[in-house]
Amino acid sequence: MIGSKIIHSGRFIIYSFIFFLSCSRAYYVRNDFEFPDPVDTNNKQIELQVKKKYQVDGVYADNLFDGARLNDFTKINDTTFQALIKPENTPVNESPWFSFRISGDQARTIYLKLKYQNAKHRYIPKLSKDGKFWIPVDTSLVKLVDNDSSAMFSINLLPSVTYISAQEIVNSYDTELWINSLKTNNLTSEYQSIGKHLLEKIFISSELVKALQKGKK
């Protein structure tokens, strides 16, 4: 009986020691990493995308939806078309975001070239007919060109639109619905805005100028 208590006590001490070590390791922080010098981009000009529908030789491409990114759409040859993707400003993390819709006058197969400015290809293109359900392009069919600053793959063009995106689209509206679902389930008490990004500030400022100008008339 006494021996059994000693064994149990010994196990408790060992488990406690292991738990103590695991907890102490969780709070270990490396201090030998030198962070790179940050770059202030406040004075960098923002590359705004023009919201429009491109029409090139019976092929249509547009960025007229939330979460889209397409800066230009051109024809290279009879079967190849190029989508230009620019960053908002530089320097920036090389994770070029692209998202647009494409369709055609008639069903045919074309080659699509994703051309990145100041970046290299990273994300596997995803295709969708409705913007909700996505299928990734077979990576064996994606060819990197121009020193990895472009990616080419074939796509079956249809009169109905096809979404092409770096990742599945989760826009601000989707996020708002998710936040509201948390409130209805009582998992959070409240939410509020804690700031605005530069592009939103520019938009608000432009709208304020328009309102003031309208008031003077």
What is the share, in percent, of the chain residues with pLDDT greater than 70?
69
32 belongs to a structural domain: no
Count of domains for the chain: 2
Q: So what's the pLDDT on residue 205?
A: 52
152 belongs to a structural domain: yes
Clarify whether residues 207 and 153 are in a common domain. Answer: no
13 belongs to a structural domain: no
Clarify whether residues 77 and 129 are in a common domain. Answer: yes
Q: So what's the pLDDT on residue 215?
A: 57
pLDDT class for 202, splitting at 50, 70, 90?
low
* 8 has a pLDDT exceeding 60: no
Q: So what's the pLDDT on residue 73?
A: 98
Clarify whether residues 117 and 160 are in a common domain. Answer: yes
* 39 has a pLDDT exceeding 90: no
Clarify whether residues 114 and 60 are in a common domain. Answer: yes
* 6 has a pLDDT exceeding 60: no
Residues 6+ apart with CB under 8 A from 54: 60, 61, 62, 70, 72, 73
Clarify whether residues 159 and 59 are in a common domain. Answer: yes
Clarify whether residues 195 and 95 are in a common domain. Answer: no
Clarify whether residues 82 and 141 are in a common domain. Answer: yes
Alpha carbons 159 and 101: distance in angstroms, whole number? 12
Q: Is the pTM of the predicted complex or chain greater than 0.75?
A: no
Tokens of 80: 């190849």
Clarify whether residues 108 and 75 are in a common domain. Answer: yes
CATH code for the domain of 131: 2.60.40.3120
Clarify whether residues 191 and 101 are in a common domain. Answer: no
84 belongs to a structural domain: yes
Clarify whether residues 103 and 202 are in a common domain. Answer: no
**Where does a domain end: 126, 147, 165?**
165
1 belongs to a structural domain: no
72 belongs to a structural domain: yes
Clarify whether residues 125 and 57 are in a common domain. Answer: yes
Clarify whether residues 111 and 201 are in a common domain. Answer: no
45 belongs to a structural domain: no
What number is the average pLDDT over the span 115-125? 94
**In Å, how far are 96, 99, 148, 159, 167 from 142, measured between CA atoms?**
16, 17, 11, 23, 16
| Better-scored residue on pLDDT, 130 or 13 | 130
Tokens of 105: 């006058």
14 belongs to a structural domain: no
Segments forming the whole domain that contains residue 66: 53-165
Counts for the chain of helices (H) and strands (E), in that order: 3, 11
Q: Is the peptide bond before 125 cis (omega within 30 degrees of 0)?
A: no
